[in-house]
Amino acid sequence: MTSSSRVLIADDDRAIRESLERALQLEGYDVLTAEDGVQAIATVHGGPVDLLILDVMMPGVDGLGVARVLRAEGDRTPILMLTARVETPDRVAGLDAGADDYLPKPFELDELLARIRALLRRAAPAPEEGPEPVLHVGDLRLDPGARRVWRGGREVELSKTEFDLLELLARNAGLVLDHSTIYDRIWGYDFGPESKNLAVYISYLRRKLDAPGAPPLIQTVRGVGYTLRPQGE
C-alpha cells in the first residue's frame, strides 16, 4: 500500500514539513509538500493524491479551509488534520470541515504512521463480493456497500472514520465494545487510556444521529466502552 501512496503534507512550519517529508519517504510513501492552504489546493487540483496531512493553523487559507473547499468540490480524499488545539470543540471543528481524523501536536511518529495506514486502508476499494446486506438497528439504517446512513427518514452525512465507527457498532449492536477493541479495529492502533480520540468521535456521531433531547443511540458503558442499542431496549 505504502509504495504507491501519494501523501501531501501542508504545513507552514518548514522544519515540521521537511521532517515529516523525510520520515514518510523512508516508509516508502511518495510525498508532496505545500507551505500553505492555497498551494495545497493547487497541488490537489494538479493531480490525484491518496492522503492529505493538513496543519490547522496556516496563514491565508488554513487547514479547515482546505478541507471545506475540497469537500465542497466532491473530493473525498482522506484528510488527517494536525492541530495544536487540544479542546474538544476545536477537534470537532476539524471533523465539521470534512476531516477524517485529527492528531494533536506534539505527536509520536509511530502514531502518525498508524493513522496514515488506517486511513489508506479504509480508503482502499473493497474486493468485489456482491452487495452487502443493509444493517438495521432500531430506526437506523446503514448500507455498507453504498456507505450511506439514514436515521428515520433522514440521511446522515458521515466522514470515512465516522462511518467505519458506526458500522462497527452496528455490526455488533447490543454488545459492549471496549475502547481497545474499537481503537484496534478502526485505527489499527491503541492510543491508550488517556486518549480522547474515541470520545470525540462518539460525541460527534451523537450530534449527527440523535434528535435534540432524545436518548443517545450510542450508549456509554462507563469504564468499559460503547454499545449501539435502540432506544427502549
Under 8 Å CB-to-CB from 218, ≥6 apart: which residues?
169, 202, 205, 206, 209, 226, 227, 228
Average pLDDT for the chain: 87
Phi, psi of 142 (to 5 degrees): -130, 120
Fold for 6-123, please state it: Rossmann fold (3.40.50)
Cα–Cα distance, 61 to 37 (Å, whole number): 5
pLDDT of residue 34 exceeding 80: yes
pLDDT digits (tens, 9 = 90+) for 177-212: 999 899 888 887 776 766 778 888 999 899 999 988
Per-residue pLDDT band for 216 (boundaries 50, 70, 90) equals: confident
- 171-201 b/e with 16+ CB inside 10 Å = b? ebbeeebebeebbebbbebebeeebebbebb
pLDDT in tens, 106-130: 888 998 998 899 889 877 765 555 5
Annotated domain spans of the chain: 6-123, 135-228
pLDDT at 128: 57
Give the pLDDT of residue 232: 57
Residue where the block lists cell 474499537: 182
Cβ-Cβ contacts under 8 Å for 135 (sequence gap 6 or more) = 141, 142, 143, 144, 167, 170, 171, 173
* CATH architecture of the domain with residue range 135-228: Orthogonal Bundle (1.10)
